[in-house]
C-alpha cells in the first residue's frame, strides 16, 4: 500500500486513535481497580494503626515498658499475617511482631517518611518475598513526636489479581490491533468510495467531453460539496471552451474577409497595366481593408489585455474631465460627416483610478457606437458628474435604439444586432469596453428605447476631486 495515499493515512490514524483510546480505557480501568482494592486495605490498616496509637497514648507510660509491648501484640496476635512494630522518637524499634530470623525491614526508611508527615504514610514492601502493605502513623504529644506505629498486611492475593488483570488487559489490547486495522480498512473504503468515483469520472473528462458531470448525492456532506464545486468548475470550463472556440472562429472570419479582399484586389490589379487613377482607387480600397485588419488586431490585443493584465490595474489616477473633453473633440470630428451635434456637460477636475489609455479606449468605443447608430442631423450627449464616491459618465444618443431581446446580448463578443447589419464594425467594441470598465472596478449599464435612443452609463471609483 502506498504510504503517502489518503487511504493509508486514514487507516493509520484511525488505528492509532482506536489503539490509544483502548490503551487509555484499559489503563484507567487498571488504575481504578488498583485504587479500589488498596483503598479497602488502607482503611483496615488505618483502623489498626489508630487503635494502636490510642493504646500507646492511653497508657501514659514509656514505650519501652514490657507490659505495654505485651498488650500491643496480644491485641493483634489473632489476626493472621499482620505485622506490628513500634518505633520510638529516634526511629529505633521498641518492639516488633517479626521474629529475628525474618529478613530485615527498613524501619529507618519508614520512620523518615512518617516523621515529617502529619498524615499516615502508605508504602508497599516485601517481607520474605511476600508483598506487604505498610502504614506508618506518627504518634504525637502536642507538637512532640512520641513514636511511630507500623502496621502491615499481606497483599499477595491482591497483587496476583492485579498482575492477572494487567496481563489480561495487555492481551486484549494486542488482540484489538487486528480488528482495529480491519475497521480502518472498511472506514477508509467507505470514505474513499465517493472520491474514487469522482476520480474515475474525472479521468473520462477531456476537452472533447466536457459535457460529462460528476454524480452528486444529496448527503449534505463535504463529498456533495466537492461534487457540486467540481461540476461548477466544469460548467465554467465548458463555457470558456465554447466561447474561445467561438472567439477563434469569429476572429478567423473577421480576418479572412479583408485578407481575401486584399488578395483578390491585388491579383486583379496585377492582371494588366492600369492608369494612375485606377491604381489610386485600388490603393484607397486596399487602405479600407488594411484599416479593418488593424482595428480587428487592436481589438484582439485589447481582449488579450483583459485576460492577462486586468488583475494588475495601476493605482495611479488621471483627470477624467480632461480626457473626456479631448474625446468630445474627437467625437465632433467623427460626427461631422453625419452633421450630428455633440453636446457636453462635463464637470471639471474629476480624477479616477486606472490606466488612462485603456479607459479612453473603452469610452471612445461607446462614443463611436453612439455616432454610428445615430441618424443624420441628430444629437449625442456626453455628461460627467460625481455621485458619492464615484464618477458617473453618461453617453446618450438619439439613434435607432435597442430592443429588450437584444439588450442582454450587446456585450457579447462579435454580437451585432439585427438592425446593424449595414453598419461597419466587428462586434467587439462594447465587449472590450465592458471588460475594461469592470477591470477598473467600475460598472457599465445600458438603457434603451427602440426608435428613441440609447444611454450608456459608466461608473468609476474616484481618486479625489479638486475644487
- Listed by start position, the domains of the chain span 6-175, 204-308, 313-465
Using CA atoms, how far apart are residues 435 and 362, in angstroms rounded to an integer?
9
Mean pLDDT split into 10-residue runs, the chain, 467 residues: 75 86 92 90 88 71 51 58 81 70 65 84 84 88 81 88 92 87 83 75 69 69 76 78 72 75 82 82 82 76 61 74 92 90 92 87 88 90 91 91 80 58 56 83 89 91 62
Does pTM surpass 0.75? no
Using CA atoms, how far apart are residues 96 and 69, in angstroms rounded to an integer?
9
- Torsion sign (Cα): 348, 349, 354, 356: positive
Give pLDDT, residue 460: 92
CA 444 to chain centre: 33
- Domain 313-465, CATH class in plain words: alpha beta
Give pLDDT, residue 213: 72
Would the CATH topology of 6-175 be identical to that of 313-465? Answer: no
Identify the three-state secondary structure at position 204.
coil
Q: Which three cell numbers stand for residue 336?
A: 461631422
What DSSP assignment string belongs to 288-352? HHHHHHHHHHHHHHHHHHHHHTGGG----EEEHHHHHHHHHHHHHHHHHTTTPEEEEEE-S-EEE
CATH architecture of 6-175: 2-Layer Sandwich (3.30)
Give pLDDT, residue 70: 57
Q: At what angle are helices 429-439 and 276-308 packed, to 10 degrees? A: 30
Give strand pairing partners of 458.
393, 444
Amino acid at each position: 500500500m502506498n504510504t503517502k495515499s489518503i487511504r493509508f493515512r486514514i487507516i493509520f490514524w484511525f488505528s492509532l486513535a482506536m489503539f490509544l483510546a483502548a490503551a487509555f480505557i484499559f489503563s484507567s480501568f487498571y488504575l481504578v481497580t488498583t485504587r479500589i482494592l488498596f483503598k479497602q486495605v488502607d482503611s483496615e490498616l488505618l483502623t489498626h494503626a489508630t487503635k494502636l496509637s490510642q493504646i500507646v497514648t492511653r497508657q501514659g507510660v514509656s514505650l519501652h515498658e514490657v507490659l505495654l509491648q505485651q498488650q500491643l501484640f496480644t491485641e493483634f496476635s489473632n489476626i493472621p499475617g499482620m505485622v506490628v512494630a513500634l518505633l520510638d522518637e529516634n526511629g529505633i524499634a521498641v518492639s516488633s511482631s517479626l521474629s529475628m530470623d525474618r529478613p530485615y525491614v527498613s524501619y529507618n526508611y519508614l520512620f523518615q517518611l512518617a516523621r515529617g508527615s502529619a498524615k499516615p504514610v502508605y508504602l508497599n514492601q516485601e517481607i520474605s518475598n511476600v508483598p506487604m502493605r505498610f502504614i506508618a502513623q506518627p504518634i504525637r504529644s502536642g507538637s512532640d513526636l512520641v513514636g511511630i506505629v507500623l502496621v502491615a498486611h499481606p497483599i499477595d492475593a491482591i497483587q496476583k489479581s492485579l498482575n492477572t488483570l494487567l496481563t489480561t488487559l495487555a492481551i486484549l489490547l494486542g488482540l484489538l490491533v487486528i480488528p482495529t486495522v480491519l475497521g480502518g480498512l472498511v472506514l477508509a473504503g467507505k470514505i474513499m468510495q465517493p472520491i474514487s468515483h469522482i476520480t474515475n469520472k474525472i479521468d473520462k473528462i477531456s476537452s472533447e467531453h466536457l459535457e460529462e458531470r460528476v454524480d452528486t448525492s444529496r448527503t449534505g456532506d463535504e463529498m456533495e460539496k466537492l461534487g457540486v464545486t467540481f461540476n461548477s468548475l466544469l460548467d465554467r470550463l465548458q463555457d470558456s471552451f465554447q466561447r474561445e472556440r467561438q472567439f477563434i472562429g469569429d476572429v478567423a472570419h473577421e480576418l479572412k474577409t479583408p485578407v481575401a479582399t486584399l488578395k483578390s484586389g491585388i491579383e486583379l490589379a496585377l492582371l494588366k497595366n492600369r492608369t494612375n487613377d485606377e491604381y489610386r482607387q485600388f490603393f484607397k480600397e486596399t487602405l479600407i481593408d488594411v484599416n479593418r485588419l488593424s482595428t480587428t488586431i487592436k481589438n484582439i490585443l485589447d481582449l488579450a489585455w483583459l485576460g492577462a493584465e486586468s488583475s494588475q490595474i495601476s493605482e495611479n489616477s488621471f483627470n477624467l474631465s480632461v480626457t473626456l473633453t479631448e474625446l468630445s473633440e474627437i467625437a465632433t470630428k467623427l460626427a461631422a460627416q453625419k452633421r450630428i451635434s455633440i453636446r457636453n456637460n462635463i464637470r471639471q477636475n474629476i480624477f479616477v483610478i486606472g490606466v488612462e489609455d485603456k479607459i479612453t479606449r473603452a469610452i471612445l468605443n461607446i462614443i463611436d457606437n453612439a455616432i454610428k447608430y445615430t441618424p443624420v442631423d441628430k444629437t449625442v450627449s456626453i455628461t460627467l458628474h460625481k455621485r458619492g464616491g464615484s464618477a458617473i459618465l453618461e453617453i446618450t444618443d438619439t439613434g435607432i435604439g435597442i430592443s429588450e431581446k437584444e439588450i442582454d446580448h450587446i456585450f457579447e463578443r462579435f454580437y451585432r444586432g439585427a438592425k446593424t447589419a449595414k453598419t461597419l464594425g466587428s462586434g467587439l467594441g462594447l465587449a472590450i469596453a465592458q471588460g475594461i470598465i469592470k477591470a477598473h472596478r467600475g460598472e457599465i449599464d445600458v438603457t434603451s428605447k427602440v426608435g428613441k435612443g440609447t444611454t450608456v452609463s459608466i461608473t468609476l471609483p474616484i481618486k479625489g476631486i479638486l475644487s
